[in-house]
């Protein structure tokens, strides 16, 4: 199914808004400017949110970070 650039733009803005809202919720009352965050998790949120393919996810994160994130996300504490 073909998506127009305006539809893709709207979906990207919606995805980034959702990611920001999730990070704000996790931060509680702290400003996101003041929150120390995990850059790897932020990148993972973005690439998952925009729906990158498996090979694109590896390219964006790099092979080492990709494997590290897979291990982290698949650990029993995060399932």
Task: Check: pTM over 0.75? Answer yes or no.
Answer: no
Tens of pLDDT, residues 5-55? 788 888 889 999 998 998 899 889 889 888 888 888 888 888 888 888 999
- Helix axis angle, 54-61 to 39-49, nearest 10°: 150
Report residue 62: phi and psi, to 5°. Answer: 85, 150
Q: Tell me what pLDDT residue 48 has.
A: 86
Tens of pLDDT, residues 51-62? 889 999 999 999
């Amino acid at each position: 199914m073909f998506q127009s650039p305006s539809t893709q733009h709207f979906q990207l803005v919606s995805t980034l808004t959702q990611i920001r809202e999730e990070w704000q919720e996790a931060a509680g009352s702290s400003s996101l400017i003041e929150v120390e965050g995990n850059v790897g998790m932020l990148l993972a949120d973005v690439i998952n949110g925009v729906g990158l393919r498996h090979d694109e996810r590896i390219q964006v994160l790099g092979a080492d970070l990709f494997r590290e994130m897979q291990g982290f996300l698949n650990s029993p504490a995060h399932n």
